[in-house]
Structure 1
Amino acid sequence: MSAAYLIVEMRINDHEQYKAYMAAAAPAVKAAGGEYLARGSRHESLEGDWQPHRVVVLRFPSYEAAKSFYDGDVYGDIRKLRAGTTEYFNMVLVDGM
């Protein structure tokens, strides 16, 4: 079974409220077997038109573990903390090799 990755791009417009989401999300990710590989760190576009404001990359032990985390009640409640804090929030789940 290969790892899976959640890749997120976002633009935060309410940093203070978003901090509550980040504080709750981190332990939930860890409890689900996930880990942050990149979280808002330095980045640059090397090709194409993609100009994300903030990028986050998480690794989970499997695709199923990542889906279970995302679809679960715990993260469902945590997502409510994010409501209204971002201009956009795009997330994709990618199966690893």
Structure 2
Amino acid sequence: MPSAYVIANVDVHDPVQYEQYKKLSTHAMQVHGAEICIRGGAVDVLEGDWQPSRMVMLKFPSTDAARAFYDSPEYRAARQARAGIADMRMVLVEGM
């Protein structure tokens, strides 16, 4: 079964409040076995006009596991904490 990746670009508007989201999302990642590949860090655009601000990439053993994480009560609580303080663009990509 191929692995799966959740890739997100986040625009944070309230860094202080965002810390609560990070705490709750970290808990959700631990509960659902996410491997953190990228969480923040410097971004260097190599091509195109995409200017991401904060990148996150999580690895899961399958798309089902990634969806279970996203739909979980743990991550739902994190999403609620993020409401109004950050804009999130997130995709689920099947890996190899």
TM-score by length of 2: 0.94
8 Å contact from structure 2 (residues 27, 74) kept in 1: no
Percent identical across equivalent pairs?
A: 44
SS of equivalent residue, structure 2 residue 43: coil
**C-alpha separation in 2, matches of 1:74 and 1:38:** 20
- 1:7 equivalent to 2:12? Answer no
Structure 2 gap segments, 5+ residues each: none
Give the equivalent residue in structure 2 for 1:71.
71
Match of 2:91 in 1: 92
TM-score, normalised with respect to structure 1: 0.93
Moved over 3 A (4+): none
1:61, distance to aligned residue in structure 2 (A):
1.0
Task: Measure how far apart 1:30 and its partner are.
Answer: 1.5
Q: Structure 2: how far apart are the matches of 1:36 and 1:47?
A: 24
Unaligned runs of 5+ in 1: none
